[in-house]
Amino acid sequence: MSEKKTKRRDFLFTATTAVGAVGAAAVVWPMIDQMNPDASVKALASTEVDVSSVNPGNTITVLWRGKPVFIRRRTQDEIDEARSVKMEDLIHPEKDEDRAKNPEWLVMLGVCTHLGCVPLNDKGDYNGWFCPCHGSHYDTSGRIRKGPAPWNMEIPKYEFVNANTIKIG
Partner 1 sequence: MSEHEYKPKSKVGQWFNDRLPLLTLANHLTDYPTPKNLNYWWTFGGILTFCLITQIVTGLTLAMHYIAHADMAFESVEHIMRDVNYGWLIRYIHANGASMFFLAVYIHIFRSLFYGSYKSPREIIWILGIIIYLLMMAAAFMGYVLPWGQMSFWGATVITNLFSAIPLVGEGIVTWLWGGYSVDNPTLTRFFTLHYLIPFLILGLVVLHIWALHVPGNNNPVGIDIKKPSKDTVPFHPYIVIKDGFALLMFMIVFAFFVFYSPNILGHADNYIEANPMVTPAHIVPEWYLLPFYAILRSVPDKLLGVVAMLSAILILAVLPWLDTSKIRSAVFRPLYKQFYWILVADVLILGYVGAMPAEGLYLLIARVATAYYFLHFLVILPVLGFKEKTIPIPLSITEPVLGGNPNLAMAKKKESKIE
Q: Which residues are annotated as catalytic?
A: 134
148 counts as binding partner 1 under rule CB under 8 A:
yes
Per-residue interface string for the shown chain with partner 1, residues 50-79, x marking contact by CB under 8 A: -----------x-x-xxxx-----------
Cβ–Cβ under 8 Å, residues 128 and 141: yes
x/- mask, partner 1, residues 11-50, rule CB under 8 A, reads ---------------------x--xxxx--x---------
The set of residues, in sequence order, having a beta carbon less than 8 Å from that of 118 and lying 6+ positions away, is 68, 110, 111, 112, 131
Count residues binding partner 1 (CB under 8 A): 25
Q: How far apart are CA 137 and CA 61, in angstroms?
A: 19
Is 91 a binder of partner 1 (CB under 8 A)? no
In SS3 terms, 104-120 reads as CEEEEECCCCCCCCCCE
Residues near partner 1, by CB under 8 A: 32, 35-38, 41, 61, 63, 65-68, 114-118, 131-135, 148-150
